[in-house]
Structure 1
């Protein structure tokens, strides 16, 4: 995991329309016109957001006849997930210590 990439990745997802595109693509690959219709945005606006998502590694596209079909790539999400997992370990350690403290306290109860 390269934690240095995480702020940039989160910044890309922080833009509401890009987040909506990612959420839409979670359901599976879609052509640009399908994204435009589903989100009610203009085609140039969707294309700009897809370009940013592509540059950040979140999406990839392939041609199918006259359409470009976009799909999510797992790698940037795995980086973000690995970063979040470090916080889960912190909380798990704290909860384990709390459990031990409570168990010790119950053992000392009159």
Structure 2
């Protein structure tokens, strides 16, 4: 597990399109209540809550109670793991494309 004592893998958490959309929505605001998040989806409050729970388990979402309302906000730091993973493969493909380009130029000569 990572530094956040995550209960769920970040890659698993972002695998679902609904959860990726939740992350995007949370990235656009400082904090948002559950009922406002639910209004953005064609699913019930319970379904949205289940997705938020998965994101919380991965450390991507933080919540706090304000009266009877629960407000959510994004904790983007676990996304660094994904950024690092993608960066590695981006470098891998750039290197291989450069090699391919060199081979093609050598064949033309």
1:73 to 72, 75, 91: 75
Look up the match of 1:17: 18
Q: Which runs of 4+ in 1 moved over 4 A?
A: 102-106
Aligned residues: 103
Query: Quick check: which has more Rg, 1 or 2?
Result: 1
Q: Deviations over 1:5-44 (max 9, x none)?
A: 9x93222222333233223222223110101111132122
Which region of structure 1 is more displaced relative to structure 2, 8-17 or 55-64? 8-17
Aligned counterpart, 2:53? 51
5+ residue gaps, structure 2, are: none
How much is the aligned-residue C-alpha RMSD, in angstroms?
2.4
Calculate the TM-score normalised by the size of structure 2: 0.75
Q: TM-score, normalised by structure 1?
A: 0.74
Does the residue aligned with 1:95 lie in a helix, a strand or coil? helix
Structure 1's unaligned 5+ residue stretches are: none
